[in-house]
Amino acid sequence: MRLVEQIGSGIPRIIHLMKEAALPAPLFPKEGMFTVTLMRPLKNREKSREKSREKIKALIKENPNITTMEMSEIIGISIK
């Protein structure tokens, strides 16, 4: 069926691509279930947060009675 292309090559490829993108190495826990944590560049997260903050401020200025649920739906982010 050829469902597996390169068995055993996924983790080294992930590590290589993360280094290539100048991102932190993925975190692999030593015990338990198989989990991988991949990090995004901090500067992109900060830019995204700042844009969201500005949009939130504008929405509140436009409508002081707006709810967090309404803002999250308009901006397209989670309510948290």
Over residues 29-76, the pLDDT tens digits come to 777 667 777 777 666 666 677 788 899 999 999 999 999 999 988 988
Output the six-digit token pair for 74: 């308009």
Q: What is the pTM of this model?
A: 0.43
Give residue for tokens 């055993």: 8
The confidence score (pLDDT) of residue 32 equals: 66
Residues 32 and 3 in one domain: yes
Using alpha carbons, list the distances in angstroms from residue 39 to 22, 25, 27, 49, 66.
Answer: 11, 8, 9, 16, 33
Higher pLDDT, 26 or 46: 26
21 domain-assigned: yes
Domain span including residue 46: 42-75
66 domain-assigned: yes
